[in-house]
Amino acid sequence: MERRVNDRPRLVVIGGDASGMSAASQARRALGPEELEILALERGTYTSYSACGIPYLVGKTVSSPEELVARTPEEFRRDFAIGVRTETEATSIDVAERLVRTVDASGTVAEEPYDHLLIATGAAPRRPHLPGADAEGVFGLRTLPDGIALNAYLDGRAPSRAVVVGGGYVGLEMAEAFLERGIEVTVVDGGAEPMGTLDADMGALVREAMQAMGASFQPHTRVTGFETEDGVVRRVLAQDAAYEADVVVMALGVRPNSDLARAAGLEIGPTGGIVVDRRMRTSAQGVWAAGDCVETFHRVSRAPVSVPLGTHANKQGRVAGTGIAGGYAAFEGVLGTAITKLCGLEVARTGLNETEAATAGFVVETVVKESTLRAGYYPGAEAVTVKLLAERGSGRLLGAQIVGGAGAGKRIDVLAVALWNEMTVHALAGMDLSYAPPFSPVWDPVQIAARKLAERMG
């Protein structure tokens, strides 16, 4: 499959994960092997795995790394006639000559010509250069091998104290995974509350649940380095404190991995992501990009954003694959929707939070409303807190945050659809949502909040 046949065009994909392999598969669905050659270059050994599943692997909810792999390189070759070259890194792109330079595990350098190129280089973890950061026991958690390495370390060393640096989604999921393994855990974060993509009042609910499960949270804390012993991490150092640790996970988020594109002269946006149009075309002829490495459009702020999530990567990959195969599809932007399950709580958000709304120039009205996830009289009615942000004057919904029991989180999708359609909280309050006693009070919690905010705004 991997030798070039001159009478058919060739697609080269850089990066064998969600967006790259979605694009490749989609292109293959449209064009058979006699019409399009496809070669995917993957730096690592895995293709198409669920990065979102890594914390569950560490927490042992998922028992083996293979379960996180949607399709192996062999399956892509066999079922899709897609050539996959693993342990092969793209080192540069020559857009004038239309070729990619590569180096494989043995150090062999090659040039791969392309007619269509898809850049799907993903995201790189933010890892500040701190003294001791290379010590044994300090882990990132971006790739499946990262997760496997951490797991092996935990199994082998049985550490008793963990520090997680960064209290975002992955950081807190990891903190819970440590708790599930009986490891004491401290989360240190630069902000006042964990989950910085939520407003602090909602983040506080998450912190309380974490603390109730035995995790410790250190706010306003900037890590300055690591104390080691025989090359193994022992303490995490901050401005004016230190935290004992046998194992450390760095979870400070990611940035678009656009270095290769930048070096090739492609346009890079203000967020550091590759600039693409709605079809996922970059500024260079014949070059497409998709997934965590690109910059996309936020439908509420109307600003460029980088949102590293598998859902977008997957959709963008399909859009690019359709376009590469000569069809038309468009990626219509994001809302910043996200969800997680943490310490017995479901936590979700969509749209803009208060800080983001202010940055985008909105003046907002907000409501925070607690209600229940079942009729009051139906046994097991758990609490839910819904926060809504609306534009002053127009009442247009701008964002939503939900923290609550089982069934709370996925309600964020109702608000995401409302945002997508630029609905007002007034319209939201009047909508025909489903009701039965095992599912909600007569007014769904999201409508109770919308009604409250609408009433307040008149």
Q: Catalytic residue positions?
A: 52
Per CB under 8 A, does 390 bind its own copies? Answer: no
Per CB under 8 A, does 457 bind its own copies? Answer: no
Per CB under 8 A, does 420 bind its own copies? Answer: yes
CB 210 within 8 A of CB 187: yes
What element of type H or E holds 390? strand 383-391
Per CB under 8 A, does 360 bind its own copies? Answer: no
What element of type H or E holds 211? helix 200-212
CA distance 188 to 186: 6
Q: Show contacts with its own copies in window 14-33 (CB under 8 A).
A: 18
Q: Which of 148, 191, 439, 457 binds its own copies (CB under 8 A)?
A: 439
Strand order in the sheet with 88-94: 88-94, 99-104, 109-113
CB 217 within 8 A of CB 243: no
Q: Which of 418, 425, 449, 450 binds its own copies (CB under 8 A)?
A: 418
Residue 274's DSSP bridge partners are 268, 294
CB 217 within 8 A of CB 210: yes
Q: Show contacts with its own copies in window 307-346 (CB under 8 A).
A: 309-312, 314-315, 330-341, 346
Pick the closer one to its own copies by CB: 207 or 349: 349
Q: Which stretch binds its own copies (CB under 8 A): 90-98, 122-130, 216-224, 375-383?
A: 375-383
Of the candidates 176, 169, 225, which has an alpha carbon nearest to the alpha carbon of residue 194?
Answer: 169
CB 114 within 8 A of CB 11: yes
CA distance 264 to 276: 15
Per CB under 8 A, does 424 bind its own copies? Answer: no
Q: Tell me the number of residues near its own copies by CB under 8 A.
A: 64
Q: Which of 34, 35, 61, 262 binds its own copies (CB under 8 A)?
A: 61
Pick the closer one to its own copies by CB: 186 or 401: 401
Per CB under 8 A, does 248 bind its own copies? Answer: no
Per CB under 8 A, does 297 bind its own copies? Answer: no
Per CB under 8 A, does 67 bind its own copies? Answer: yes
Farthest CA pair distance, the chain: 71
Q: Give least dist CB 261 to its own copies, A.
A: 24
Strand 274-275 to 254-256 pairing: unpaired
Q: Give least dist CB 377 to its own copies, A.
A: 4
What element of type H or E holds 427? helix 425-430
> Which segments within 105-261 are labelled E, that is strand?
109-113, 116-119, 123-125, 138-139, 161-165, 184-188, 216-218, 223-229, 232-238, 241-244, 247-250, 254-256
> What is the DSSP-derived secondary structure letter of residue 68?
G
Per CB under 8 A, does 440 bind its own copies? Answer: yes
Pick the closer one to its own copies by CB: 240 or 377: 377
Pick the closer one to its own copies by CB: 45 or 61: 61
Q: Give least dist CB 259 to its own copies, A.
A: 26
Q: Give least dist CB 449 to its own copies, A.
A: 14
Residues that bind its own copies (CB under 8 A): 18, 50, 52-53, 56, 61-62, 67-68, 299, 309-312, 314-315, 330-341, 346, 348, 350, 375, 377-379, 406-407, 409-414, 416-418, 420-421, 423, 427, 430-440, 442-444
